[in-house]
Structure 1
């Protein structure tokens, strides 16, 4: 049975990134009626930032020849580490159970929300390969950051996540679905680009649904 882990990171209850991730998730669940599905709202139920006890667990991992994420709990030695592990364990269990990881996220200040970064920090340990899992990121960006756009060089959202998944998890199958110029809905300075946004948004919805049929 294949399993989907669905994460949303935006602070907005009604948002484009949520709509895009929902489009993928709904289509995926239609295709896999018997599949496993786990949803986590990282904004409504935020993951705590890592603390010193987490770094101690991380240091213990470095002493091992390789990382077996399912046995990390065996490294716990102190009450503080036990408390840190209580936070990590359910997050890591969800991640390890997933065949597909879906992340809906906005671009905040050219990068990702702190809520998503906190989750990434909690579940990431040295030499922990997740190479057989597939990652899908659906995102909303206030401006235009696609190749060739004047601000393309400021896109630290896709660049960070792609490099993170490849560098830490050895994941090479990461697909991004972007809706751009979302701020044209609210910013008078971008009002003349609303049609571009509408086209980008509509295309992203179709892409998210179609992509789910391949996963």
Structure 2
């Protein structure tokens, strides 16, 4: 039975990324009653940054050419490494058990929040593959960074996630949903673009619904 891992990274308790992420998760769960579902709120319950013991685990995995996550515990030796592995193990188990990973995040200062980057670092190991896992990324952005816009070149959140997942994990099934211009609701400079923002949200909701339908049992 397919499983869903749902990550939230927004520092806001209510946000566009959380709202659209919940829309996907609710639709997916309705289409897969009883299927495994894990929700991890990385802002409310942040994972720690990696430490030196974590880097030692990575070094030893490379030395021994271990690429199978089931064998990772073999390299854990010292008390510090055991403490580092105690952080990693539940996060990695959730990731490896998921058929679909939903990442709901804002873009902060042109990139992903530190809380999401901390999770990524904790679960990323040398030559580790997640090929075959489907990723849905909902990334809300205060301005507009669509291809062809003046700031497209500094979009390092949604595109970073797609490039990273493909470049490191070999994941080719990454769907991006990017509601734009959310700051039009609060920034007077962008107030005249509120209609663009609202249209972007409508498009994002429709994209989420299409992705839910594509993940339904009838579609796979």
Give TM class, smaller chain. over 0.9
Per-residue CA deviation, residues 188-215 of structure 1 (Å, 9 max, x unaligned), is: 0000000000000111012112211112
Per-residue CA deviation, residues 109-156 of structure 1 (Å, 9 max, x unaligned), is: 011000000000000001000001011100110000001111111111
Tell me by how many angstroms 1:106 deviates: 0.2
When normalised by structure 1's length, the TM-score is 0.98
Query: Equivalent residues in 2 for 1:1-215 (5 A)?
Result: 1-215=1-215
CA–CA separation in structure 2 for the residues paired with 1:36 and 1:149: 40
**Number of equivalenced pairs:** 215
Q: Which sections of structure 2, spanning at least 5 residues, go unmatched?
A: 216-220
CA–CA separation in structure 2 for the residues paired with 1:211 and 1:109: 28
Q: Which sections of structure 1, spanning at least 5 residues, go unmatched?
A: none
When normalised by structure 2's length, the TM-score is 0.96
CA–CA separation in structure 1 for the residues paired with 2:169 and 2:212: 22
SS in 1 for 2:87: helix
Tell me by how many angstroms 1:157 deviates: 1.0
CA–CA separation in structure 1 for the residues paired with 2:65 and 2:157: 32
SS in 1 for 2:178: strand
CA–CA separation in structure 2 for the residues paired with 1:26 and 1:209: 10
Tell me by how many angstroms 1:160 deviates: 1.2
CA–CA separation in structure 1 for the residues paired with 2:98 and 2:64: 25
Per-residue CA deviation, residues 74-129 of structure 1 (Å, 9 max, x unaligned), is: 21010000000000000000000000000000000011000000000000001000
SS in 2 for 1:12: coil
SS in 1 for 2:84: helix
Tell me by how many angstroms 1:66 deviates: 4.0
CA–CA separation in structure 1 for the residues paired with 2:158 and 2:104: 12
CA–CA separation in structure 1 for the residues paired with 2:157 and 2:209: 22
Per-residue CA deviation, residues 43-62 of structure 1 (Å, 9 max, x unaligned), is: 00001000000000000111
CA–CA separation in structure 2 for the residues paired with 1:28 and 1:210: 11
**CA RMSD between the two structures:** 0.8
Q: Is the 8 A contact 1:20 1:139 kept in 2?
A: no
Tell me by how many angstroms 1:163 deviates: 1.2
CA–CA separation in structure 1 for the residues paired with 2:187 and 2:97: 41
